[in-house]
């Protein structure tokens, strides 16, 4: 997974409801922490963070039009 691609998807989200705004803030925070994990070679933490990011995305996607296509390309492989 490319972190920059994920950052672009998050920045492109149009948060309309409070739930979407909270999810967007959480995703931004998680991606920042994910980048730190990769930089410091903390692979187990990175895996956990990626799974958390995907969980948030899968909850929000049905309610947010326009980001489903980009998120469909993301995959967490173990």
For residue 36, give Cα distances in angstroms to 32, 57, 58: 6, 20, 23
Distance CA 65, CA 17 (A): 12
The size of the chain, in residues, is 78
Dihedral sign for Cα atoms in the order 59, 71, 13, 33:
positive
DSSP 8-state secondary structure symbol assigned to residue 70: H
User: 40 in helix, strand or coil?
Assistant: coil
Per-residue pLDDT of the chain (78 residues; tens, 9 = 90+): 577 877 887 777 777 778 778 888 888 888 889 888 988 999 999 999 989 888 887 777 666 655 555 566 665 554
Q: What is the pTM of this model?
A: 0.65
The domain segmentation of the chain, as residue ranges, is: 3-72
């Amino acid at each position: 997974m490319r972190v920059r691609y994920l950052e672009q998807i998050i920045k492109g989200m149009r948060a309309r409801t409070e739930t979407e705004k909270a999810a967007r803030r959480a995703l931004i925070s998680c991606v920042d922490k994910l980048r730190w994990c990769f930089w410091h070679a903390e692979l187990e933490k990175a895996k956990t963070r990626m799974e958390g990011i995907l969980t948030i995305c899968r909850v929000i996607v049905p309610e947010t039009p326009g980001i489903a296509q980009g998120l469909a390309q993301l995959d967490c492989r173990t």
